[in-house]
Structure 1
Amino acid sequence: MPPLLALPFPAIDPVAVAIGPIPIKWYALSYIAGLVGGWFYARRLVAADRFWGVVRRPSLNDIDDLIVWVALGVVLGGRIGYVLFYNLPLYLDDPLEILAIRNGGMSFHGGFLGAVLAMVLFARSRKLSPYTLLDLAAVVVPIGLFFGRIANFVNGELWGRIAPDFAYAVVFPSGGPLARHPSQLYEAATEGALLFVVMAIAVRAFGFRKPGLLGGLFVLGYALARTFCEFFREPDRQLGYLFGTGDWRYGGITMGMLLCVPMALIGIAYIVLAARGVTQPRPEQAETVRADAA
């Protein structure tokens, strides 16, 4: 029996608006909100002289072009990551299903790698430091994470583990009759809102003067937040728990947790390298920046 104060799932239509026969879903709007919000915030950061010092910054036109590259990297990487990490046997049996994005299936870790690759390629094409672009993305990405997890909740997907003793658990339509943790909202609060505040404080404290520092801080912060939320999130059905059971006291290691381990290590490495000055621009690059500013 669900707890007395268990909440019924709110009746929210996943389709925000329909233009004739074309439905526009909240999930699609969340991607748009994340990209537009990130683009707007990135332009403001690039225009703020106090954050940059001798580090060469991208131009406003670069930001306008970069958003297209990142959008493609997120979508392609997210889909490929889901295929490889979460449901490879299904797609090996039916390769055309890979193209059926309408049926769902996106991986943040895959989208993250796709976005990183897109930024590295873009940096090379514009002769910018990839560290700088990664730092800039690190500050704005939590916006997209927040809206994306809210959209997951609206869709009633990626729900949490059964929570018989939690007063404010939610009975999801596709989650059976038992109340579950609204883990999508936990992720929106930690990976989105909390990480956004942390990164906003960090950029005001350090600026972009230590390339790689903000990027490392974000990667480490996301890995910790996602690992925490995985204790409440139901793992993908086709994978289940890689080790242990669903009771966090006795294990319950999920694919999401496993993928966060290299992220945390990479984040720590970038923070250390940035703190030691390894990623600082070379003297001739700094002189070029000063000349451009003059």
Structure 2
Amino acid sequence: MLDMMSFAATLLPAAALTFPDVSPALVSIDLGFLGLGTFHLRWYALGYMAGIALAWWYASAMIRRPRLFGGTSPLTKDQLDDIMFWIIVGIILGGRFGYVLFYMVPYQFDVIAANPLTIFKIWDGGMAFHGGILGVTIALILFARRRKVSLLSIGDIAGVVAPIGIGLVRLANFVNAELYGRHTDAPIGMVFPEGYVRGSTPPAYNWDTGEWAYTGFETARHPSQLYESVLEGWLPLIVGSILIWRFGALKRPGLIAGLFLLTYATGRTIVENFRLPDSFVEGLPDWITMGQLLSIPMWIGGIWLVWNALKSKPATSS
């Protein structure tokens, strides 16, 4: 009878790839002399920061070209700067409280009951993309009403720049060895260091030693973070950009925003078949995952926006 170590070894195909030995932190600075311990500048945080900076740059390039919108840009530079702040707030609050609402309240309420402040501990991990989308949507609605600008047009801008951050953050998920995929015997299978902490496939990185802690029970898995980076980030970015710069899609307000919702929902639905489901999510049918379930409103909203944009006449320069 095989022991557990031997059994684990049988799950590793000969062609399995080894996870690259990359620290989740780009830079670690010892601030012990200030009584602050060690500061880690993590790739995950850099993914968000770079995504926001590049999104601002790309949005600025678009609003400087009124012809893309049919003659008048929906935002001034000052308005763009203001809305970026509220988008950041929407991402952080929406992402965190979405995670609490979608995952912690139904499945980890005991954790909240034991320590309600856990809700605010964003540094311990736990951000839901669908919650972030909801937070950004609320921020855009409030901004559009207050500044009297076109909600659909600023939604289009957000729809083409958001995939930049998504693509980068998914790459950071890969570096963190988190949100990895199901077992596979395919040559693309990768052996990730796997942790024991309850949650959605957390990294097994020891910050004290600066080393990954392989348990000896790892198996080759789909690098689903890379699949998500392509299907949820870079592909929507490329498709949206071609439609904008080559076919004038921004002249139909709501079209790019709707296509972003549809392309993300499609990519997420596909990748969920390869991504390892969260271990604590229970009670769902075998044919659907939480990520696919939360993508249903994106399908509905995306179809409505695209249909509404295509039935209207495109804006033209006066």
Q: TM-score normalized by structure 2?
A: 0.82
Map of 1:18 onto structure 2: 28
> Which letter maps to 2:20?
P
Count, aligned residues: 275
Map of 1:236 onto structure 2: 278
Given that 1:87 and 1:238 are in contact with CA atoms closer than 8 Å, whether structure 2 keeps it comes out as no
The reply on whether 1:140 has 2:157 as its aligned counterpart is no
1-side partners of 2:271 and 2:80: how far apart?
A: 32
2:225 alignment partner, one of 184, 202, 206: 184
1-side partners of 2:283 and 2:226: how far apart?
A: 22
Deviates more, 1:48-57 or 1:171-180: 48-57
The reply on whether 1:264 has 2:287 as its aligned counterpart is no
Map of 1:47 onto structure 2: 64
Q: Deviations over 1:82-133 (max 9, x none)?
A: 0011121232443111111111100000000101111111112211011111
> Which letter maps to 1:142?
P
Helix, strand or coil at the partner of 1:73: helix
Q: Deviations over 1:241-286 (max 9, x none)?
A: 7211xxxxxx3x10000111111111001111111129x88xxxx9
1-side partners of 2:255 and 2:237: how far apart?
A: 15
Q: Deviations over 1:12-43 (max 9, x none)?
A: 11111134432211110000000000000000
Segments ≥4 residues shifted beyond 4 Å:
none
Map of 1:129 onto structure 2: 150
> Which letter maps to 1:170?
M
2-side partners of 1:241 and 1:208: how far apart?
A: 42
Higher helix share: 1
Helix, strand or coil at the partner of 1:167: coil
For residue 7 of structure 1, report the CA deviation from its aligned partner: 1.2
Given that 2:63 and 2:73 are in contact with CA atoms closer than 8 Å, whether structure 1 keeps it comes out as no
Map of 1:108 onto structure 2: 129
Map of 1:248 onto structure 2: none
> Which letter maps to 1:52?
F
The reply on whether 1:168 has 2:188 as its aligned counterpart is yes
Over 3 Å counting, the alpha-carbon distance change for 1:52 and 1:37 in structure 2 is same
Q: Which runs of 5+ in 1 are unaligned?
A: 245-250
2:46 alignment partner, one of 29, 42, 65: 29
Given that 2:66 and 2:72 are in contact with CA atoms closer than 8 Å, whether structure 1 keeps it comes out as no
Given that 1:240 and 1:254 are in contact with CA atoms closer than 8 Å, whether structure 2 keeps it comes out as no
2-side partners of 1:241 and 1:198: how far apart?
A: 36
> Which letter maps to 1:147?
L
Given that 1:73 and 1:114 are in contact with CA atoms closer than 8 Å, whether structure 2 keeps it comes out as yes
Map of 2:138 onto structure 1: 117
2-side partners of 1:195 and 1:161: how far apart?
A: 24
> Which letter maps to 1:116?
T
Q: Which runs of 5+ in 2 are unaligned?
A: 1-9, 32-38, 196-216
> Which letter maps to 1:35?
I
Q: CA RMSD in A?
A: 1.8
Given that 2:253 and 2:309 are in contact with CA atoms closer than 8 Å, whether structure 1 keeps it comes out as yes
Deviates more, 1:203-212 or 1:96-105: 203-212
